[in-house]
Structure 1
């Protein structure tokens, strides 16, 4: 069945010498951060850097038509335009010919070099380290434009230490990575080409023009009769009449093709339909070869390791160092250490968690990466008993209660789009609506994690959903200011060539930036899953391993107990 007809989708739019040259550039350039930190903080760094000038204004045309029954207000239109402009990604020069595969980014031919320390005096704790990357193509020629996705990490295997770096794109084949130096001893630079700029161009086109590459279905049932039809955020109207199943309260759009013999109100269940095939050409498929140009380390030209000396007296503080400002924390001895904000407690046993959560109602709304938190708490709290609601193992909803300590834990999946096994329509709840049903208060914690199922849609869809959730959060905080609201960010996943077109780091990174900006001025707390996963020594996974989940939950519990009335051990 062809899924290419989409009426409401529109068309979108030596090395050391190089280092010395880069450090003395005075002409105006465009840099783009790869958003490993809150964008506003990175922006401050960019503006203060001697390697860049001001960022030009950028006008972005709309990539798809909004739901006709829910037109955005002028203020929302402006917010959306500014938000999407702010995370615009560098593209190949206008009018350039599509490159052949040999002209695309090749990590094997590319190198990075560590920039010598200032005044040649070595590096100290509190300083920052810089490395410069020069990308080449498969024929060994230097790339002349940017747009590649690189991830950077600094680590020490002995101390099980690690911190995420920031990558800046000079849009000429050169990239800079900067790291805060946070521990004594060795520090090894790791730089990885995740996707070439040419692959990113394909991913961008897929996001804007093929939101049908993951599709869904619903069963409609009346008595002994049942029919299954296709469903999605967008459906072409020339293939049949539609059931408009848009949520009347939150305005979240959803459509199914109308059954031939049943009415739209006979919708019974929702499930994932499948993945669209044959989305890209054979030539484009060469851009997604695992081990060749997808998530491949870049080698150092000389050394990739430095030695960090103890901090000097009067070293720069977090308040003035932009790289430190953009770093939410780091790992040391396999424990996450946040920088600034609420101190992180170590909840290493059931008693510590119970003391924190006694008398608490904890509501978790989101995807399966947040379900991990519910499952973790259930596994370490012996007095918390899961209420058997006979719901599907993966979709829930789930509830657990400790009647002795008056603890309630609840997890519920967010509403469509969700890629999941069949679930009753009656259990499809939108987060905004659920938040409106909460009383809130000092005994209530709300945890949100919504990102993984929106990567196949234009960003406007994600913005619209987050906007409704944000409004509901503000209403909750207005009527119950003592409510703790915690948001889990996106995280990188394991390398899967086939999965790159449906979930990948570039899509997740863009969503992560949108999420942070949408809630920038709201009184919420953040669990920076992106930096936590990037800094950790364990391999990336869409569902992080238990060791990282523990630190995420510990960070969340630290927020819940931040008012000091609940005693627990600080690190």
Structure 2
């Protein structure tokens, strides 16, 4: 019935108004279920080239302010002529600088190391930009702390360590990527932001078809389905299937990745040669740390602005922000979480925490929701102690195979929480966004930040804990898709965006780097146990075994 005819009669007007209200409510309920109606976008194919090097604007985003781009820029470097002119860990070295009072070091001092990089021909490098990691260890004491590396932009670097335990301290310096490799990684993100691509399955009756999806898609003759989230504004698109509507989409999964590196560029990312390789000392690589002297003032290096967030001693993480991190036994964990609800949102590194609780607490029983382990959602309940722990993966881009009905954005999930003094929210979003332009990650975090602010406004007693990024083992695939370089940038941005907000951070970056175990995307059990102790110390201060 047309609107004009509908309004001619009183009952007709009432029916018409009712119809409009029903349509509005249905659409609103669609939004609450996070399944917004898709739209079709037709692309002007004359204005945009499909050649990857001819068009860089197909994935354009609003420029960021300097405050948003809160990480140090890589120095501009000349293009390498050959591998021989790039940084070689085998020809590079580090030297421990003399300590005060004739080479003595005491607890509370700072140890400074000078690093000189050279190329494969043994010639000292004249430019900076190498990605170096440094740490200090004592295996017998199970002690370790991350060092801070300062780039002097001339081929030399400083690494500064806080001396926090008595006894031996072994210096370890690692070249993660040469500066020339960093330039390639930056170019990949600029020119190939879609090198990881995703697919969705569409099904209608006996018809089914898969198409490519992403945050942004290169123009083709196929129209696009627009799945931009109505509440957060997070963009997501799929090529429209030929014989089905956009609403026939039922699942999401990773499609693959494109490796467009040139042969010489691949030489910059070789395990055991110039990727995650230790740099040796030109002299002694360890020092003996003496007890702290009475009245000793902490000596600070002029090149370092802040110290480590914590360190390991006897295998236990000791935070330096004033937080006491005790060991929590299974019974202490149950007592700590009694009467609490813990909601976990993020990637598989957050799922590790859910799985830890599920295995560590005998009273916590996981419900079989018939969901695959990777994406969940998962839920465990300890009925006797009134403990509920849940996990849900974050929204796309995510490399899990997920039914579209389970694709939820963290900000939306937070907006649907009432919050309470007994509610704990744990967040970890970094790994799956590593290959995309930083603007996409910043947009995602800003959306989550606004949701956290709203949550804390309506329920100030809610505890929000955020897990930072961590280093990993690197292969060529891992480097192209999610190098430690990308993770470090996201780690810095995450800290900048949530700075000043009433949230707690678990410094996974330093906790992974300071430990003597090899780097792993999914840190091994000893590190996870310390992370959980750190989390519980925020939930139940000064409790434990």
Report the TM-score, using the length of structure 1 for normalisation.
0.84
CA distance in 1, matches of 2:167, 2:311: 15
Partner of 1:90: 75
User: Displacement of 1:149 after TM fit?
Assistant: 0.2
CA contact (8 A) 1:180 1:323 kept: no
Matched, 1:101 2:101: no
CA contact (8 A) 1:137 1:143 kept: yes
Shift in CA distance, 265/8, structure 1 to aligned 2, threshold 3 Å: farther
In the TM superposition, what whole-angstrom CA distance separates every residue of 1:291-321 from its partner, at most 9, and x where no partner exists?
Answer: 0100111110111011100001223359999
In the TM superposition, what whole-angstrom CA distance separates every residue of 1:235-279 from its partner, at most 9, and x where no partner exists?
Answer: 0123421001011101111000011111111111101101213x1
In the TM superposition, what whole-angstrom CA distance separates every residue of 1:356-376 from its partner, at most 9, and x where no partner exists?
Answer: 000001000000000000000
In the TM superposition, what whole-angstrom CA distance separates every residue of 1:485-524 from its partner, at most 9, and x where no partner exists?
Answer: 0000000001323321111111110110011101011111
CA distance in 1, matches of 2:54, 2:370: 41
CA distance in 2, matches of 1:439, 1:144: 56
User: Displacement of 1:7 after TM fit?
Assistant: 8.2
CA distance in 2, matches of 1:356, 1:3: 56
Shift in CA distance, 321/525, structure 1 to aligned 2, threshold 3 Å: farther
CA distance in 2, matches of 1:8, 1:462: 22
Partner of 1:432: 411
User: Displacement of 1:83 after TM fit?
Assistant: 2.9
Q: Trace 1:178-327 onto structure 2 (pairs within 5 A).
A: 178-277=160-259, 279-316=260-297, 325-327=306-308
Shift in CA distance, 419/4, structure 1 to aligned 2, threshold 3 Å: farther
Q: Does 237-246 or 356-365 show the bigger shift?
A: 237-246
User: Displacement of 1:82 after TM fit?
Assistant: 2.5
- 3-state SS in 2 of match to 1:65: coil
Q: Trace 1:341-420 onto structure 2 (pairs within 5 A).
A: 341-347=322-328, 349-420=329-400
CA contact (8 A) 1:489 1:530 kept: yes
Partner of 1:532: 511
Q: Does 398-407 or 319-328 show the bigger shift?
A: 319-328
CA distance in 2, matches of 1:155, 1:329: 13
User: Displacement of 1:282 after TM fit?
Assistant: 0.5
Partner of 1:14: none
Shift in CA distance, 119/350, structure 1 to aligned 2, threshold 3 Å: closer
Partner of 2:320: 339
CA distance in 2, matches of 1:409, 1:530: 25
CA distance in 2, matches of 1:239, 1:446: 44
- RMSD of aligned alpha carbons: 2.0
Q: Which of 172, 177, 189 is the aligned partner of 2:154?
A: 172
Q: Does 99-108 or 309-318 show the bigger shift?
A: 309-318
In the TM superposition, what whole-angstrom CA distance separates every residue of 1:404-452 from its partner, at most 9, and x where no partner exists?
Answer: 111000000000000113x210000000000001011110000000000
CA contact (8 A) 1:143 1:173 kept: yes
Report the TM-score, using the length of structure 2 for normalisation.
0.88
Determine which structure has more spread, i.e. the larger CA radius of gyration.
2
Q: Trace 1:449-468 onto structure 2 (pairs within 5 A).
A: 449-468=428-447
- 3-state SS in 1 of match to 2:461: coil
CA contact (8 A) 1:330 1:337 kept: yes
Task: Give the aligned length.
Answer: 497
Partner of 1:36: none
Shift in CA distance, 458/7, structure 1 to aligned 2, threshold 3 Å: farther
Unaligned runs of 5+ in 1: 11-62, 67-71
User: Displacement of 1:121 after TM fit?
Assistant: 5.0
Shift in CA distance, 264/505, structure 1 to aligned 2, threshold 3 Å: same
Shift in CA distance, 220/97, structure 1 to aligned 2, threshold 3 Å: closer
Matched, 1:65 2:65: no
Q: Trace 1:118-133 onto structure 2 (pairs within 5 A).
A: 118-133=100-115
CA distance in 2, matches of 1:351, 1:503: 38
In the TM superposition, what whole-angstrom CA distance separates every residue of 1:80-123 from its partner, at most 9, and x where no partner exists?
Answer: 4323264322231xxx4533211000000011100111342510
